[in-house]
Amino acid sequence: MDHYLDIRVLPDPEFGQVELLNALYAKLHRVLPSLTQGRVGVSFPGHKRTLGECLRLHGSLADLLNLTEVNWLQGMRDYIHIGEPAPVPQGTSFRVVRRVQAKSARNKRLRSVAKGWLTEEEALVRIPDTQQKVMALPYAEMHSLSTGSRMRLYIEHGPLLDKPVAGGFNAYGLSAMATIPWF
């Protein structure tokens, strides 16, 4: 993981930055597993309350060049600026960028009933909607290809580390343990 590539969404009067970044990330998600087999990670260097305007890809020069040569950005090229793959600066820190999932109160009720732990009435009383955790993390919103419903992918940028941790990345370019360079 010695190179990176920044893809920035450009300001647009018709589409918001969040909407464009969501579309860009969804397109990346569709090609990432087949093109890189878990070797490319992602980060969002401008993240705060939202993920920001920049999607940064981390990987080998060969994997990043492969991603730039395949036409997965069809329909997005007018809305983005793709940088050139560049070496990771010396002396950088590292961090884990991972997905965080909060179990919904509805899913907890369904599981409790399905396992036979509670009846439907008991589950409604003992697991109210107010028990739902509110996530304060930035997220990408996408359409699930399997269910067709909208889903939120909450993303946490972990604490800075001095040393990298090797490992694979999922179809979203995220990992619970593997680090990406942070600069």
Which whole-number Å values give the CA distances from 46 to 32, 56, 126, in the listed order? 22, 10, 40
The β-bridge partners of 39 are none
Sort 113 into a burial class: Cβ within 10 Å, 0-12 / 13-18 / 19+: middle
DSSP state of 161: B
Q: How far apart are CA 11 and CA 34, in angstroms?
A: 30
The β-bridge partners of 85 are none
Which residue of the set 29, 47, 58, 157 is catalytic?
Answer: 29
Q: How far apart are CA 108 and CA 25, in angstroms?
A: 29
User: In the annotation, is 29 catalytic?
Assistant: yes
CB-facing half-sphere around the CA of 75: CA atoms within 13 A? 7
Contact by Cβ (8 Å): 43, 25 = no
Closest C-alpha to 32, from 15, 12, 2, 7: 7
Active site residues: 29
